């Protein structure tokens, strides 16, 4: 069986422990997912499993021929996870939140919130220019971006103003506080990348806490 599942971020809340302490957690609707396709080394060159999650909002044209059998079940989201040696899965197999239990460490991947076009101060926390001594229009300027004759150009990857956010982000070693298969609900300690109702990929962590 695969060690991951697709979910939807519901938001953040807090839970109280038996000792009265409270923990900030993120609620995730994890699964249920269906195994849509299984890839093998002989046929595809690597071992993986493709999971389907969520219902389609609008049905497309009906498939014909061989595709009719392959696309019998349609899902809104599909994601692929690698399969390690010894792991197996079958098409049509259901995977739910019972894959995890309290105390497990997971890695969660999502798309961060998009902030649009942002300057260097907001995007990279630049200090900005001096506020006095005649500097009236350089408060949030990035400063010099190039050098002199040699090399005489702007290096690639230089931190400048540009599009901020809307990137694939992975947060590692988040602890599972609670897993409720009856409600497909997963509570994970800490923040998860993305907006409310954003798609996330939850996988068991292989690194562990340092």
CATH, residue 100: 2.40.30.10
CA–CA distance from 53 to each of 36, 50, 76 (Å)?
A: 10, 10, 6
**Quick one: pLDDT at residue 163?**
96
CB 162 within 8 A of CB 117: yes
Contact partners, residue 154, CB within 8 Å, separation at least 6: 145, 146
Q: How many CB atoms lie within 10 A of CB 25?
A: 22
Same domain, residue pair 41 and 131:
no
Task: Pull the structure tokens for residue 35.
Answer: 């195994």
**What rounded mean pLDDT belongs to the chain?**
86
**Quick one: pLDDT at residue 176?**
92
What value does the mean pLDDT take over residues 117-126? 95
**What total of structural domains would you count in the chain?**
2
Task: Check pLDDT > 90 for residue 98.
Answer: no
12 within domain boundaries: yes
Tell me which of 142, 158, 193 is where a domain ends. Answer: 142
Same domain, residue pair 40 and 82:
yes
Q: Which residue has the higher pLDDT, 48 or 87?
A: 48
Same domain, residue pair 193 and 133:
no
**Token pair 């498939």: residue:** 63
**Quick one: pLDDT at residue 69?**
47
Question: Cα separation of 170 and 40, whole Å?
Answer: 26
| pLDDT interval class at 209 (50, 70, 90) | low
What value does the mean pLDDT take over residues 87-95? 82
Same domain, residue pair 8 and 39:
yes
Same domain, residue pair 101 and 131:
no
Q: Which of 198, 202, 5 shows the shortest CA–CA distance to 112? A: 198
Same domain, residue pair 32 and 9:
yes
Same domain, residue pair 27 and 82:
yes
Contact partners, residue 210, CB within 8 Å, separation at least 6: none
151 within domain boundaries: no
- Using DSSP's 3-state secondary structure scheme, residue 70 falls into helix
Q: Which residue has the higher pLDDT, 210 or 31?
A: 31
Structural domain that includes position 78: 4-57+71-114+166-204
CA–CA distance from 34 to each of 37, 80, 181 (Å)?
A: 9, 12, 15
- Provide the edge-to-edge strand list for the sheet that holds 48-53: 77-82, 48-53, 33-39, 94-95
Length of the chain measured in residues? 210
Task: Check pLDDT > 80 for residue 65.
Answer: no
95 within domain boundaries: yes
Same domain, residue pair 28 and 105:
yes
Q: pLDDT exceeding 90 applies to what percent of the chain?
A: 40
Same domain, residue pair 52 and 89:
yes
- Is the entire prediction scored with pTM above 0.85? no
């Amino acid at each position: 069986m695969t060690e991951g599942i697709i979910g939807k971020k519901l938001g953040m809340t807090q839970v109280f422990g038996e000792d009265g302490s409270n923990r900030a957690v993120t609620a995730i609707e994890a699964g249920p997912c269906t195994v849509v396709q299984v890839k093998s080394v002989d046929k595809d060159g690597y071992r993986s499993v493709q999971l389907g999650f969520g219902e389609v909002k609008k049905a497309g044209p009906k498939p014909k021929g061989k595709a009719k059998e392959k696309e019998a079940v349609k899902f809104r989201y599909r994601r692929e996870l690698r399969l390690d040696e010894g792991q197996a899965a079958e098409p049509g197999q259901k995977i739910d939140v019972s894959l995890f239990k309290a105390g497990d460490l997971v890695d969660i991947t999502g798309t961060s919130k998009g902030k649009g076009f942002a300057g260097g101060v907001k995007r990279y926390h630049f200090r900005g220019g001096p506020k006095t001594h005649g500097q009236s229009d350089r408060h949030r300027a990035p400063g010099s971006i190039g050098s002199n004759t040699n090399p005489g150009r702007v290096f690639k990857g230089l931190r400048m103003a540009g599009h901020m956010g809307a990137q694939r982000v992975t947060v590692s070693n988040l602890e599972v506080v609670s897993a409720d298969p009856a409600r497909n609900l997963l509570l994970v300690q800490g923040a998860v990348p993305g907006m409310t109702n954003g798609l996330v990929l939850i996988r068991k962590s292989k690194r562990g806490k340092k």
